[in-house]
Amino acid sequence: MFTKRLYFENAYIKEFDARVLSCEEGKNGYEIVLDETAFFPEGGGQPADQGYLEDGEVTDVRDKKDYVLHICTKYLEPGSMVHGKLDWNRRFLHMQQHSGEHILSGIIHRTHGYDNIGFHMGKDFVTVDFSGLLTEDEIAEAEKMANTVVFADERILAEYPGKEELEKLEYRSKKELDGDIRIVTVPGADVCACCGTHVKRTGEIGPIKVTSSEHYKSGIRLTLQIGWMALGDYDRKQRNVKAVSNLLSAKPEEIGEAVQKQLEQMQELKQENITLKQRIFDMILKETPEGQEKAVLFEKGLNSVEVRRLADMLSSRAGLAAVFSGSDSEGYKYVVCSGDKDVAALGKLMNQELNGRGGGKNPMIQGSVQAEERMIRKFFEELY
């Protein structure tokens, strides 16, 4: 079987008619082969097209070398003529992203000599992996150069050069290729072997924005927003900026400074809170008589570190010090300390009797219990 690939001739074909060569039921739907198709199969980092064959939904498209396999929700009679319709919005987004990636990858290869070693076109963003590291300034410069190419509205060419011409041509390729090689050229930016679909002119790509970068293997991974997806990303971030601006009563361009002031104030309040709690802990310690057998204390609003610190302080006054913080409805976190009692065994008993989790080794255990305060107090009263 052989499928003519219409998307190589014209990536802008949205609808077409074709003959069904075969149709067999598979694991994920009916597997259909046509004599020609405008549906692009997954390949080279670009996802497969989706759409319809008649009123059957095409959920996936796969490249089988000589033919293209369409995964469809409806059985189509072999030999019949069918009408195909692409999900054009999805396809065009892929064309924008693929063409935009070519431009940025070509520029980084030309200016820094790095190869594109990984490309993934996701639902919400594009990632590209390069074989070397880039500084933030270098990334910003490459992004600026890429958008300059977009604004120039250059024509993107997709051609099959002859053998002699191909041997003289310098082009990017991720792997060794044989047979007819399709070369995609973006003037001033990139020359690359590629089987994907692209826009006709760079002006159709829209903005190219690097939104983040991270070290990946021995190089760098860039996350990109391109075309309509970039505008969608900008809209989401703009709404967030507006919301933060309103919450802070600050102009959008001043929210960074406003957040910094909030963080400084929070740090001051945090330090004040630590100081006040230490005073409370000191007062509790003074009010706890020395030499008592046990001290079971409930204090609201303590974090795990504070619970432990208070229990440790109380253990200098009592044979057993137990500190709980929480509520009857949500449970209590605890720390129990003792220099002469087996608190490890106590922890196991608490887990059984008080629906607890946690434990530890003598002289300290910690964890949480799902029980009311009165039940916890009763447990310690009956035990000691």
Assigned fold of 289-383: Diaminopimelate Epimerase; Chain A, domain 1 (3.10.310)
Who contacts 4 (Cβ-Cβ below 8 Å, separation ≥6)?
A: 35, 36, 37
Give 216's pLDDT tier (boundaries 50, 70, 90): very high
Structure tokens at 258: 């406003």
- Six token digits for residue 247: 């919450």
Looking at residue 177, its pLDDT comes to: 64
Indicate the residue type of 183.
Answer: I
CA-to-CA dists, residue 5 to 157, 251, 363, angstroms: 17, 53, 74
Provide the CATH topology of domain 4-86. Elongation Factor Tu (Ef-tu); domain 3 (2.40.30)
Average pLDDT, stretch 349-365? Answer: 95
Nearest to 127 by CA among 135, 118, 136, 137: 118
- Average pLDDT (67-86) is 98
pLDDT over 70 percentage in the chain: 99
Q: 342-353: per-residue pLDDT in tens?
A: 999 999 999 999
pLDDT, tens only, 90-106? 999 999 999 999 999 99
Residue 15: pLDDT over 70: yes
| Number of Cα atoms under 13 Å in the Cβ half of residue 301 | 5
Q: Given a cut of 70, is residue 178 above it in pLDDT?
A: no
As a whole number, mean pLDDT of residues 269-278 equals 94
pLDDT > 80? residue 1: yes
pLDDT higher than threshold 90 for residue 180? no
What does the pLDDT read at residue 74?
97
Q: What is the pLDDT of residue 173?
A: 87
pLDDT value at residue 83? 98
As a whole number, mean pLDDT of residues 258-263 equals 95
List the alpha helices (DSSP H) in 121-197.
136-152, 163-168
Q: How far is Cα 75 from Cα 54, in angstroms, rounded to an integer?
A: 10
Q: How far apart are CA 234 and CA 52, in angstroms?
A: 31
Collapsed DSSP state (helix, strand, coil) of residue 33: strand
Bridge partners of residue 216, in order along the sequence:
219
pLDDT at 351: 95
Please state which of the ranges 27-36, 86-95, 163-172 shows the lowest mean pLDDT.
163-172
Q: Mean pLDDT, to the nearest integer, of 217-240?
A: 96
Cβ atoms 181, 193 nearer than 8 A:
yes
Q: Over 70: is that where the pLDDT of 176 sits?
A: no
pLDDT at 278: 93
* Residue-wise pLDDT tens digits, 51-73: 999 999 999 999 998 999 999 99
What pLDDT shows up at residue 103?
98
Q: The pTM is what?
A: 0.78
Q: How far apart are CA 26 and CA 3, in angstroms?
A: 19
Give the mean model confidence (pLDDT) for residues 285-300. Answer: 92
Asked if residue 44 has pLDDT above 90, the reply is: no
The DSSP result for 237-253, as a single string, is HHHHHHHHHHHHT--GG
- Listed in sequence order, the residues at least 6 apart from 354 whose beta carbon sits closer than 8 Å to its beta carbon are 369, 370, 371, 375, 376, 379
Residues in the chain: 384
Cα distance between residue 229 and residue 207, in whole Å: 9
What SS3 class is residue 102? helix
pLDDT(160) > 70: yes
Superfamily covering domain 92-235: Threonyl-trna Synthetase; Chain A, domain 2 (3.30.980.10)
